[in-house]
Structure 1
């Protein structure tokens, strides 16, 4: 809820700025500011004649799912994660309709399916199973955190009210992974976490796409790297989809 509230505040602020500067469009070099710090390099405003750069600080609020041993869209709606990316926008055309984006990102994967993870430290495998009826926990979560390098080829129409389409991919390194169970016993909450999965995949890589208008977009990521590497382990590969906001 806190992530959703932050995006709502940013949306309201961005919309107010858009209405405040609803001046006549000047094409490529518009002075209108449709979003937070949209025309700023980080230290000072851009010079008038410079091409505007977009989508350099991006936040994604995403629904996390997986495929393999589990069906698509079988995860509960509360499986919400987020990404944050700081990127360079390298302009490739004079009309500013095509560019290349690259940078560094942080990603948190969160899935709340009622799945029990079991670590087999002898065979170095990770297994999943359903809970016995009547012994289900109050809530469960599988989480993983990554540092990633995103790459995007960006297409957009002219002007600050542009339509944009971005396609690319990213490769990341896993910082940690864990499973969490929360039980309610005699009115009290008890939580346990398990780390150090023996065959946890340290790498994550996949394809990404963004489609949107101005500083808002629909986001999707389809990964090709499973969560666990051993052939005897559970076959789970992540996918994500959600919304993006670009602050400048």
Structure 2
């Protein structure tokens, strides 16, 4: 694969990792395919990789490449066609006083403290709840691409931080963490809806939401957002609603 920006070509090489314990499905071994470039990834190349089912974690751009399992299905939300359901509309209206600030990745103590509290509440025992500052910085602040942090505040108090990567055709929703002691606020739902509205404003079509995994509750909520598309055999297809819906994330 290669990308070209301002007349310059960028070449990408791929390698497969050793197998490791799957983070999403019990008693499963996983393997990843990692994309390597000889320099920082330009937007065109990165956008191509995302369209081919890759994701980013820190400096690594990867996609599932497991020996026997194909449970991870890349999905993207079509921004211009999005029509919120009644619950989603209520959540959006409830957060109408949210203050939003889009900034470059920066080290802020309040971000890290919110991240720690979120991990300890939502992912206790999963390993990420023990992340120190170096792990947090490597995971969310180091990036070889066009990355932004979106701060959401109420009355000046930080409630949500969302990490997004800008693409030729939209954005990749890398990770979001938020105030864990207000489950009724449904900050996760609100954040996805904000990303959709943002793309509608700048005229780009897709929010790439990562992977949908049928037997992983933490991931399958994504089917609640429509119209959704899924990547199968290298082609993006419309997601029929009949294939299943899932509870909204809090």
TM-score interval, normalised by the smaller of the two chains? under 0.3
Higher helix share: 2
Q: TM-score, normalised by structure 1?
A: 0.24
Higher strand share: 1
Structure ID, larger Rg: 1
Q: TM-score, normalised by structure 2?
A: 0.23
